[in-house]
Amino acid sequence: MTQQDLEAGVPHADVLEIYRRTVPFQAVPEILLGKIAHLGNSAFYAAGEIIYKTGDDANDICIIVSGRVEHELEPQAQARRPLKVLEAGDVFGWAALLSKYPRRLAKAICTEQAEVIRINGEKLLRVLETDPAAGDHVMSQFATMIARDYTVPGLGAMLRKIHRRIHAGDVQGMNLTLYRYQQWLKSPRPYLMVVGFTLFVGFWYLAVEVWKLPRFRDMPGITAVVKEWLNPDPAYGLSIYTPEYYKHIGVSIWRVTQAFFLATVLGVSVGLMLGWSKKFKEYVFPVFETLRPIPILAWVPLAIVMFVATESAVIYLTFLASFFATALNTMLGVESIDESYVRAACCLGAKRAQVFRHVIVPGALPFIFTGLQISVGVSWFSLVAAEMVSGQYGLGYVINTSYTMVRYPTIVIGMITLGFVGYITSAMVRAMGDHLMKWRTRELALGAQ
């Protein structure tokens, strides 16, 4: 087989006109079309000459400039019409764009003298990635062409995907937490955060250890806290090297997990009913609003009386504040749903239970997860209050005991640990909400910028 490839290609203006007449590239912007045009090399074939045969490496796609090409798909392609005669403006060789077929699926032979533009598939994909929206359109046109003109619809789904830079509008279906993290790293916020922590720690050091201000001179300095925290043999018995430190953390996490789970199940259920049923709200909401402002410490005596086991009392006290935060936000979420959605669902024949499941619950999810983020934070400071009174282990117990025994560095260690663990649990709830609300990722991503 003889073949002459013209490195310079056909004249640029002619190439653009050829591409404009070619189905996959008809709607491509001029700038992108120009980039694609520079990829093509002209090749001339004599009548009867084979362009490629079944099993050859699939590297290029081909556009016919002039002449005719007979294109015959192999039996394994399962095409309904395997033989097709292609003319000027037709595209073939699309196996170069498939993800699972790096070889030719057909035999292409010229039935008369022909001029063909050959474009490397890898280079074409890289160019399309520079304009993802147009690239997606081109690939969808290829998929339609494969299914309609070549009658092999199954292969259209195997076209390679366009890799793109992440924009707010492209986040649909991906992990929003990872996206937010990437955007966060690109923004000035992490660096301002470092500056903020530096200023806080610097002021702490100067106020306590250098200036010894009246309100701060009896506080533990950062040097004493860090030394105690990182000491293999701590003076007050608690550091990252002692097993008791991790036992306190583990006990607190387990208590918060139990309380948060109960608060989520009961709080979401009660909140949905408060927002959905007016009659239920008339009975329950006045009692709910009367109990909600009562501080956790006020419940301590009753908790001890109601629960014989100390552990149950701690979990109950941790649960209370979390329950009220979850239920209230869930109720507000239901009430925020536009009444027109409910009426539209009813007009379409949805029953009350179906409206509740498909309209009310999804519509309230953003408020529910806002409530859960508040709830998990409330759980931690409720836990501290409960452990100060009734606990035997836990970070709240550490803080209270350290104060009683004048171990001030240990108090700060317990507080900082509590802050870190609380931040992590809140981030986990946020990530779970992002995962369950992928249908809202575009809106949330735009709001995160």
Q: What is the CATH number of the domain that holds 412?
A: 1.10.3720.10
pLDDT, tens digit (0-9, with 9 covering 90-100), for 422-434:
989 988 888 787 7
- Do 152 and 191 fall into the same domain? no
| Residue 174 belongs to some domain of the structure | no
pLDDT of residue 269: 95
Q: Which residues of the chain have pLDDT under 70?
A: 1-15, 100-101, 149, 152-157, 162-180, 390-391, 437-449
| Residue 60 belongs to some domain of the structure | yes
pLDDT of residue 77: 73
Q: Taking a C-beta distance cutoff of 8 angstroms, is the pair 258, 311 a contact?
A: no
- Do 215 and 293 fall into the same domain? yes
Strands 106-110, 50-52: pairing kind: antiparallel
User: In sequence order, what DSSP letters do the residues of 262-307 get, joined into one string?
Assistant: HHHHHHHHHHHHHHH-HHHHHHHHHHHHHHTTS-HHHHHHHHHHH-
- Do 55 and 87 fall into the same domain? yes
pTM of the model: 0.58
pLDDT of residue 417: 95
3-state secondary structure string, 208-266? HHHCCCCCCCCCCCHHHHHHHHCCCCCCCCCCCCCHHHHHHHHHHHHHHHHHHHHHHHH
- Do 203 and 104 fall into the same domain? no
- Distances from the Cα of 225 to the Cαs of 14, 235, 407, 415, in angstroms? 75, 11, 10, 11
| Residue 172 belongs to some domain of the structure | no
pLDDT of residue 178: 66
- Do 158 and 189 fall into the same domain? no
- Do 207 and 340 fall into the same domain? yes
- The structural domain count of the chain equals 2
| Residue 170 belongs to some domain of the structure | no
Determine the structural domain holding residue 20 and report its residue range. 4-165
pLDDT, tens digit (0-9, with 9 covering 90-100), for 94-135:
888 887 667 888 899 999 999 999 999 888 888 888 887 788
- Do 68 and 186 fall into the same domain? no
- Do 284 and 203 fall into the same domain? yes
Q: What is the CATH number of the domain that holds 140?
A: 2.60.120.10
